[in-house]
Amino acid sequence: MRTPYLVQRALNALSHSAFFAGVSERLLIWSARQVRLYFTDAEVRAAVQRRFERCVTPRTEVVVAHSLGTVVAYEGLCAHPQWQDVTFVTLGSPLGIRNLAFDRLVPAPVDGRGHWPEPVKSWTNIADRGDVVPMVKSLAARFGERIVDVAVHNGAKAHDVTGYLTARETGRAVIEALGAAPGD
Domains located in the chain, CATH noted: 5-177 (3.40.50)
CA distances from 10 to 16, 91, 135 (A): 10, 22, 10
Written as tens digits, the pLDDT of the chain (184 aa) is 554 555 445 555 544 455 444 444 444 444 467 888 899 999 999 999 999 999 999 999 999 999 999 999 999 999 999 999 999 999 999 999 888 899 999 999 999 999 999 999 999 999 998 888 888 999 999 999 999 999 999 988 888 999 999 999 999 999 999 987 555 5
pTM: 0.83
C-alpha closest to that of 159 among 37, 50, 61, 32: 32
Helix, strand, coil % (nearest 5) of the chain? 40, 15, 45
Structure confidence by residue, pLDDT tens digits, 128-165: 988 888 889 999 999 999 999 999 999 888 889 999 99
Q: Is 56 exposed, middle or buried (CB count within 10 Å of its CB: 0-12, 13-18, 19+)?
A: middle
Tell me: the pLDDT tens digits for 12-25? Answer: 554 445 544 444 44
The one-letter amino acid at 27: L
- Cα separation, 133 vs 1, in Å, equals 11
